[in-house]
Each structure stands twice: as C-alpha cells, then as structure tokens.
A = this chain, B = another copy of it.
Amino acid sequence: MHKELTLDRIRAVLARLEETIIFALIERSQFSLNRVVYLPGALGVALGDRSLINFLLHGTEVLHSQLRRYTSSDEHPFFSDLPDPILERLDFPDVLVTDGTLNFNARIREVYEQHVVTQICAEGDDGQYGSSAVNDVVCLQALSKRIHYGEFVAESKFQAYTDRYAPLIAAGDREGLVSLLTDTEVEINVVQRVREKTAQYAGLIQAANDSTLTPEIVVKIYKDWVIPLNKEVQVEYLLRRPVL
C-alpha cells in the first residue's frame, strides 16, 4: 500500500485539518452573518447577478488554479472554468483510482451557506462584507478538503479489505457499503477531539474577546455535515471504483 494510504498518515492529515477548520471558523465568527454576502445580485452592478462570495471564491480559484492547486488529488475546485497552471505539473503519485469527476462542492457550498455560517456567526449585518467573504473562502476550502479526503479513506479501506468491498461495489449495494465503512468508535473519537480542541482554541480567545463560536457548534457541524458528507464521498468513490 502506498504510504499516502496508510491509516496513520490519513488520520494525521484529518486531525491536522481540524486545526485549519477550527481556526477558519473562529476567524469568520468574528463578523456578523451578513446574509447579503450570499445573495446573488445584492451588492451592486459590478457583480451582475453573482453574489459576493461567488465573485471572491471564483477569483481565488482562478489564482490558485494557476498555482496548480487543483492538480493535487486532495483538492477539488468549486468552479470548472479555471485557467491552466503556470507552474510545471508536479508528479503526484496516483494513489486514487478515479476518473477525477467526483466533486461534492456544490453540496458543500449549499450546506456552508445554509447551515454552517448561520450557526457560527451572530445574526445581523456589521458591514464587514469583504472580511466575511475572505474568511468564508478559507472555511469552504478547508471543509472541502476534509470532506473529499473520504476518497483516500475509501481507497485505503478498499485495498485493505478488497474481498469485502469488491462484491458490494459489484452489486451497487450502497447500504452495504455504508454499513461496512462506518466505524462508530472512530466517529465518536473525532467528535470528542473536535470538542476538546475548540474548547481550548476558542477558550483562549474568549478570555479576551467576545466569540460566538462554542465547542457545541463545531461538534454539531462535524456530526451533521462533515462526517456524513465524508462518508457519502467514500460511498460515491467506491461505487465508481473499478473492481478488477
């Protein structure tokens, strides 16, 4: 098995992404919800029928695409009309067996705008649209990476237990796959760790500032969205995976 696919390596990446996600949520939660940021056509003629978050997310991906961000198999763009990299392509090892079409970002963005940002920010409008959108982009990119990392988790499990996964994939047995790849103990550990980390990070800040972000909110985001969507990615990855 390629070292990118060992469970230790995958767990370290996922654990480290928790910091990135928690930091990003803390930064965004400094500003009010500012619903107008997500409303198409709400912020002036220059944006046309786009929302501000659409404008900034697209502009950011245009830049990052040129830095070859989306040539990495653990990155997925929110947009498809992106320019080619200006940097030489890196030789990443092809550890996933995929046609590269799996992309949950439309769902992730919908979930973020409707269920995540609404929970982490105070209701209202403080006029800080730019700062809100800049931090939204960081949150969206971190959540997207975390959720799509399910592809690596799934490939790792497939290689370790091919005999169990292959028949379920061949039969298109979605429920069987969900049941086989669900590890309740691991999920409980992730939630517990996220609760503790948020309590520590946000707690340090709250001592001096008002922050609306509590461990319960981050736990709820993980339980309701991050973990289920990651599991959906695993299932979709496996259903598309060729079984030799």
Min Cβ gap A116→B in Å is: 19
Number of interface residues of A (CB under 8 A): 41
Residues of chain B within 8 A (CB-CB) of A204 are 19, 197, 200-201
Identify the closest chain B residue to A71 (Cβ).
B130
Query: What secondary structure prevails in chain A residues at the interface with B?
Result: helix
A69 touches which of B55, B127, B130 (Cβ 8 Å): B130
Contacts of A208 in B (CB 8 A): 12, 15-16
- Assess the A16–B209 pair: CB atoms within 8 A: yes
The contact string, 1 if C-beta is below 8 Å from chain B, for chain A 201-222, is 1001100110000000000000
Q: Flag if B67 contacts A52 (CB, 8 Å).
A: yes
**Which residues in B have their C-beta under 8 angstroms from that of A200?**
200, 204
CB of B127 within 8 A of CB of A90, answer: yes
- Decide yes or no whether A39 CB sits under 8 A from chain B: no
B130 pairs with A87, CB closer than 8 A: yes
Given the interface pairs A59-B63, A69-B130, A130-B69, the reply to whether A46 lies near B86 with Cβ below 8 Å is yes
Partner of A56, one of B44, B63, B68, B209: B63
Do the beta carbons of A64 and B201 come within 8 Å of each other? no
A172 → chain B closest CB, angstroms: 37
A17-29: contact bitstring with B at CB < 8 Å (1 yes, 0 no)? 0011001001100
A-B contact pairs, 22 of them (CB 8 A): A12-B208, A12-B209, A15-B209, A23-B27, A44-B87, A46-B66, A52-B87, A55-B66, A55-B86, A56-B63, A59-B63, A60-B60, A60-B63, A63-B63, A64-B130, A67-B133, A67-B134, A69-B130, A87-B129, A87-B130, A201-B201, A201-B204
- Residues of A near any B CB (own CB < 8 A): 12, 15-16, 19-20, 23, 26-27, 30, 43-44, 46-47, 52, 55-56, 59-60, 63-64, 66-69, 86-88, 90, 127, 129-131, 133-134, 197, 200-201, 204-205, 208-209
